[in-house]
A and B are shown apart, each in its own frame.
Chain A
């Protein structure tokens, strides 16, 4: 297993190079001069622009610029933005905010998604199953912005005004973990829908499997069958989804972060793409891809734990 992990981590190097180069190339190819974006709507001063072009190697071909970037990264330097802020300053605190948000969402997702899926599978075809399906459909078709805003209004504003209960902050991160509850749930909603359906299907597939039927036929208590065999074997697609979703939640939290005014990486990524701040975009994506790689690796290792027949190759 140790060798497997090392091999996987070594494989991360080409992935990192690939991703950063891809992002670099995309931002390079995007229409819009980054220095013009810097100046907003007025024309950028030519003298100033020339100096910046020199400083940021903007006149060099793509591959050369990428080379400079890799060199900087290897010396632990994320670079500076066109507006002169060090990229590391921009990252300060933001990854932490988004990571907490994503983890909160992931916990909601796992508990609610798997819980609802389990319930639906066990009550298959009954009204509970249908009700859960309806809730899932709502979560997919009502946009985050609406559900987020409504929850903010009801739990953040109305609850406080009408009952004096000031438990859910409207916005900001000043209330510690409490600040993340509402946004975490809002961010998790779409994923809850996926996970609920996935759990339901996965569990039903397993319940139909021969060994489960055998176990039941042998007279093993159903609760034990469920816990020991069925659930455990159904978990593989679920942890796969959860693992892969962590990165998606971190990179895609822009709307939730906006509604709840959380100073996170989702907003930053968005703004940096808008401003064509290559160094910030590539920096964020580099961290995101690392999270993907590690999360996927952990999931792959879990396969063998969940199903002993699976071996590392």
Chain B
């Protein structure tokens, strides 16, 4: 790596144009930045589109996903004017299924990612900050859950809730139940690092209470890795949802999700790649939009970059 590959984070960054004279808050500054940041605009537009698709799939649909539109004789066909994304193993239109599959996938992905981030994040923050018995207790509980194999978790939920009540809620529960310990570990590590930083020590010396230190000083500096892991979790959850469907815990046909589409298309991937690639592409775009938004927002909020 050459010396000059280091990004120019040096203080010589050109000062941004000063706008109106009234004193700008951190948030309004950030918003001002964001509106002009193409990364934010593109990422935001993509996410809005995806949300619109999941909210109103009918608006984007061409062929429909009714069984009548599927024809086994047309299975595994390529792209045509009628089937924009080709057809799947059962001769159904891949484009329409991607559109109608968005809702389940996006809800499952976002809700599970957020639930895990909040639970794991909060416990990691407490454990990392207070240390001692709080940390011991939380970390050990996390270890207990860590070792539970995911199939067992899914089957457990199946046993408790029952097959007939399975739905998006159970999927979120099953996925989140076993994923939070990793977030706890990541958050805890970040908090332990942040806690030792000078400004935290200083804040403590100035008599700031633990709550204030945690929220105002530590959290903003420790949250980045959690966000990163959660964005990838988002994608992993969307894909993992299909595995639960196979066990009968997840959503069932005739409902559609990207994860199920990908899983169903796997075996015939070499013969017919399209039914796998398109839902995978949409899954990628969902993660991409979140990554872009996350990057832009973090940059805008980071005072060090100003």
Contacts and interface: CB of A to CB of B under 8 A. Distances in A.
A142 B280 contact: yes
Interface in B135-171: 135-136, 139-141, 143-144, 146-152, 155-156, 158-160
A31 B159 contact: yes
A149 B268 CA distance: 11
Given A27-B152, A226-B1, A310-B193, A241 B229 contact: yes
Contacts of A209: 304
Nearest to B280: A141
B126 interface: no
A285 interface: yes
Contacts of A121: 7
Contacts of B9: 207-208, 212-213, 216
Contacts, number: 197
Contacts of B3: 221-223
Contacts of B269: 146, 149-150
B75 interface: no
A237 B11 contact: no
A146 B4 CA distance: 40
Contact of A289 (B141, B144, B266, B281): B144
Interface residues on A, range: 35 or more
A141 B281 contact: yes
B209 to A, nearest CB: 21
A244 B266 contact: no
A contact face: mostly helix, strand, loop, or mixed: helix
Nearest to B235: A140
Nearest to B158: A31
Which among A197, A212, A237 has the greatest number of chain B C-beta atoms within 10 A? A237
Contacts of A202: 224-225
Interface stretch (B76-84, B85-93, B110-118, B182-190): B182-190
A194 B10 CA distance: 28
Interface residues of B, number: 68
A93 interface: no
Interface in A274-313: 281, 285, 288-289, 292-293, 296, 299, 303, 307, 309-310, 313
A141 B239 contact: yes
B231 interface: yes
Given A29-B159, A208-B305, A226-B6, A288 B147 contact: yes
Contacts of A281: 149, 152
A293 B140 CA distance: 9
Interface string B244-275: 00000000000000000011001001100000
Interface string B60-103: 00000000000000000000000000000000000000000000
A165 to B, nearest CB: 21
Contacts of A31: 158-159
A19 B178 CA distance: 13
B123 to A, nearest CB: 14
A71 interface: no
A280 to B, nearest CB: 12
A236 B187 CA distance: 11
Nearest to B162: A31
A11 interface: yes
Given A208-B9, A252-B150, A289-B146, A313 B189 contact: no
Nearest to A149: B269
Interface stretch (B28-36, B45-53, B211-219, B282-290): B282-290
A143 B266 contact: yes
A70 interface: no
Interface string A237-277: 10011011001100110000000000000000110010000
Nearest to B139: A296
A27 B262 CA distance: 30
B232 interface: yes
A14 B137 CA distance: 10
B24 interface: no
A244 B146 contact: yes
Nearest to B259: A143
A180 B304 CA distance: 45
Contacts of B139: 296
B156 A141 contact: no
A143 B161 CA distance: 28
Contacts of A137: 235, 284, 287-288
Contact of A197 (B156, B182, B188, B231): B231
B192 interface: yes
A216 B6 contact: yes
Contact of B228 (A122, A198, A221, A292): A198
Contacts of B131: 313
A31 B229 CA distance: 34
Interface of B: 1, 3-7, 9-11, 131-132, 135-136, 139-141, 143-144, 146-152, 155-156, 158-160, 181-182, 185-186, 188-190, 192-193, 196-197, 221, 224-225, 227-229, 231-232, 235-236, 239, 262-263, 266, 269-270, 276, 280-281, 283-284, 287-288, 291, 302, 304-305
8 contacts: A146-B266, A201-B224, A207-B6, A207-B7, A233-B193, A251-B149, A303-B189, A303-B192
The 7 closest A-B pairs by CB, nearest first: A309-B196, A289-B147, A140-B235, A240-B189, A137-B284, A141-B280, A141-B283
